[in-house]
Amino acid sequence: MSENFNQPREYDAVLGGQVPPPKDGVVLGGIAGVKRRLISATSVEQQIFAVAEALKYGEAGTKLVFEIVNPESEKVQLTVSSLLGQQALAKVQSHLHSDRPLISAVGVDYSHLQNLLASENWQDADKETATIMLQVCDRAQAGFLDPSNIEQFPCADLSTIETLWQKYSNGRFGFVVQTHIWQNVGGTSNPDWEAWCRFGKGVGWFSQGAWRYWNDLKFDLSANVGHLPRGGAFMGWGLGDFWTGCRTLSAIAEKLASCKIA
């Protein structure tokens, strides 16, 4: 018996909101149906279901989630963060076991960073990553990188840093997953506080209305996908400075793309 694609399905939004839908109900598909499900959800369970459907629509669905859904429920917020992380993680899975050489264009020794990551000492690895990146750009005294520094960052060194973070976290940490999440929540180089907060919630840097200090981060594999690297205690694009953060994350995304690092 052939399937009748004109009949509403269990995940379709139907005008009138009846479940099961009435015989003459009007089915809303696509992003319009997603929006209606988000608006009409009254329970946490309905919100979670609607969020899962919305995030399948990429940036458009993600923006709807943050515009419509009340994030007061910790369960809903965890669902949003988890699904964003899963989407980002799926994009790096195919590259996890590629053998990219651990090289430096400027003579940096990456053995210490590798040892820290191999031993899952994420906190010291984050500090070491910041130290190395400042060293590569001759910005140790300044204590931070700006977009022009990132634009000039050697592809070989960025690839080595990313490879090590991906390898030892099984893809959960690294700049690639961070930039996937950043772009999925609508982040661009134009400073946007709302996008910056969406990103912060996605990677677990922003919770309960406040940005986490570096010492309050979760330095283990139970943290959100994209939680690390943060940039050490002193070099942070994740400290709530959205003006710098938006530009820096977008610069990293552009650099990863130009270096063909995935």
Residue stretches of the chain with pLDDT short of 70:
1-29, 70-74, 77, 93-99, 232-240
Q: What is the pLDDT of residue 221?
A: 95
Q: What are 27's strand-pairing partners?
A: 14
What's this model's pTM, rounded to 2 decimal places?
A: 0.75
Q: What is the pLDDT of residue 235?
A: 54
Residues in the chain: 262
Q: What is the pLDDT of residue 223?
A: 94
The fold for domain 95-258 equals 1.25.40
Please write the tens of the pLDDT for every residue from 11-48: 444 444 444 444 444 345 687 887 888 888 878 788 77
- 137 torsion bin: left (phi>0), alpha (psi -120 to 50), beta (else): alpha
The residue among 226, 125, 101 whose CA lies nearest residue 175 is 226
Q: What is the pLDDT of residue 25?
A: 40
Spell out the domain ranges in the chain: 1-70, 95-258
- 4: Cβ–Cβ under 8 A, 6 or more apart, which residues? none
Burial of residue 104, with CB atoms counted within 10 A of its CB: 0-12 exposed, 13-18 middle, 19 or more buried: middle
Q: What is the pLDDT of residue 19?
A: 45
Q: What is the pLDDT of residue 18?
A: 46
- 225 torsion bin: left (phi>0), alpha (psi -120 to 50), beta (else): beta
Please write the tens of the pLDDT for every residue from 140-170: 888 888 889 999 999 999 999 999 999 999 9
Q: What is the pLDDT of residue 236?
A: 52
Q: What is the pLDDT of residue 98?
A: 63
